[in-house]
């Protein structure tokens, strides 16, 4: 036995990602006395600037945006009760296909070994029992999300730690619910192939694209009830006020948000506990 507290480490790409995919578990486990460590890989400099000015437009200053987003990130962590915030401070690479993808010093251009070495040092320091990051596609193909996945998995190999490791995901049933909500608010989200039988048959190209977003419900290994903390998750997202135009969930209000976001879902990819699947707790088998 050890006096070291159980520790969750979440590795995310940008400020605000911590709230979108893991705000519920960060708040829940912090409230349960578990140490929560957030690693944010980029500075968020490709986000919106004051007044909603977009990257590449006159008046957009990536350094100023990064400083603003750091303050918002700290506010979000306070709402969620995050114990420790670590930032790797790579330059935001922007969305796929943006010129910033090729910028020297951007996270996407950083050798995986370099980023992994930095993260491995943090892992050795905090010795997390549970590590959470994205899948190989970064959930939806964002370069920085993909790179966060790559450095996390490489860092785990470097450290030879044996924590439980999870990738964030979304079951197709939840994607459909989000799609309905987004259409209600005049947004657009591609829909997964209906389970169990498609009716009518989806467009083949659309179906192929959807295979990279989320998972069929029966492939989701871990369903964590965070209903009691959905209000904190909403407030954490709201702390990233400068990016409000890009955060659809804020448009629906706290009550509707809680209805849709009361469960966070993951796929378990590494485990030394033998905890049975499916599971309802990232720390199943550890306490």
Contacts of 265 (CB under 8 A, 6+ apart): 168, 169, 170, 171, 174, 220, 222, 223, 224
> Quick one: pLDDT band at residue 254, thresholds 50, 70, 90?
confident
Q: How many residues are recorded in the chain?
A: 287
What one-character DSSP code corresponds to residue 134? -
What one-character DSSP code corresponds to residue 286? T
- Please write the tens of the pLDDT for every residue from 107-165: 999 999 999 999 999 999 999 999 999 999 988 889 999 999 999 999 999 998 878 99
Question: Contact, 242 vs 48, CB < 8 A?
Answer: yes
Distance between CA atoms of residues 73 and 253, nearest Å = 21
Strands 84-90 and 222-225: unpaired
Structure tokens at 58: 């006159």
Could you check whether the bond before residue 200 is cis, i.e. omega within 30 degrees of 0? yes
Strands 164-169 and 35-42: unpaired
3-state secondary structure (DSSP) of residue 44: coil
Contacts of 122 (CB under 8 A, 6+ apart): 9, 37, 39, 86
Terminal Cα distance for the chain, rounded: 12
pTM comes to 0.88
Please report which helix (H) or strand (E) contains residue 189, including its range.
Answer: none
Asked if pLDDT for residue 268 goes beyond 50, the answer is yes
Query: Which of 20-24, 121-125, 194-198 comes out lowest in average pLDDT?
Result: 194-198
- Closest alpha carbon to 66 in 41, 85, 96, 83: 41
Cα torsion 214, 217, 219, 225: sign: positive
pLDDT of res. 158: 96
Question: Contact, 92 vs 14, CB < 8 A?
Answer: yes
Classify burial at 121, counting beta carbons within 10 Å of its beta carbon; exposed 0-12, middle 13-18, buried 19 or more.
middle
- Please write the tens of the pLDDT for every residue from 65-107: 999 999 999 999 999 999 999 999 999 998 888 888 988 899 9
> Quick one: pLDDT band at residue 248, thresholds 50, 70, 90?
confident
Strand partners, 40: 12, 87
Asked if pLDDT for residue 197 goes beyond 80, the answer is no
Report the mean per-residue pLDDT for the chain. Answer: 88
Output the CA–CA distances (angstroms, integers) from residue 115 to 66, 83, 112, 118, 269, in the order listed. Answer: 19, 22, 5, 5, 21
Q: Listing from the earlier edge strand, what are the strands of the sheet with 263-270?
A: 84-90, 35-42, 7-12, 130-133, 164-169, 263-270, 222-225
């Amino acid at each position: 036995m050890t006096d070291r507290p159980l520790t969750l480490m979440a590795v995310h790409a940008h400020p605000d990602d911590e709230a979108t995919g893991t705000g519920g578990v960060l708040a829940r486990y912090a409230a349960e006395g578990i140490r929560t460590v957030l690693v944010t890989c980029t500075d968020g400099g490709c986000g919106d600037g004051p007044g909603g000015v977009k990257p590449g437009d006159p008046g957009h200053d990536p350094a100023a945006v990064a400083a603003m987003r750091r303050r918002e990130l700290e506010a979000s962590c306070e709402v969620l009760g995050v114990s420790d915030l670590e930032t790797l401070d790579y330059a935001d690479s922007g969305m796929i296909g943006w010129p910033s993808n090729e910028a020297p010093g951007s996270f996407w251009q950083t050798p995986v070994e370099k980023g992994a070495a930095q993260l491995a040092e943090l892992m050795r320091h905090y010795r997390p029992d549970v590590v959470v990051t994205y899948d190989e596609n970064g959930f939806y193909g964002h370069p920085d999300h993909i790179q966060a996945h790559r450095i996390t998995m490489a860092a785990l190999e470097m450290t030879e730690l044996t924590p439980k490791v999870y990738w964030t995901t979304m079951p197709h049933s939840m994607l459909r619910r989000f799609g309905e909500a987004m259409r209600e608010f005049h947004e657009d989200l591609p829909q997964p192939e209906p389970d169990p039988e498609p009716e009518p048959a989806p467009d083949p190209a659309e179906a192929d694209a959807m295979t990279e977003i989320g998972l069929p419900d029966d492939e989701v290994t871990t369903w964590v009830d965070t209903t009691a903390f959905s209000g904190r998750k909403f407030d954490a997202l709201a702390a990233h006020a400068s990016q409000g135009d890009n955060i659809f969930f804020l448009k629906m209000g706290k009550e509707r948000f809680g209805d849709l976001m009361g469960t966070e879902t993951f796929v378990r990819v590494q485990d030394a506990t033998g905890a049975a699947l499916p599971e309802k707790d990232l720390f199943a088998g550890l306490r």
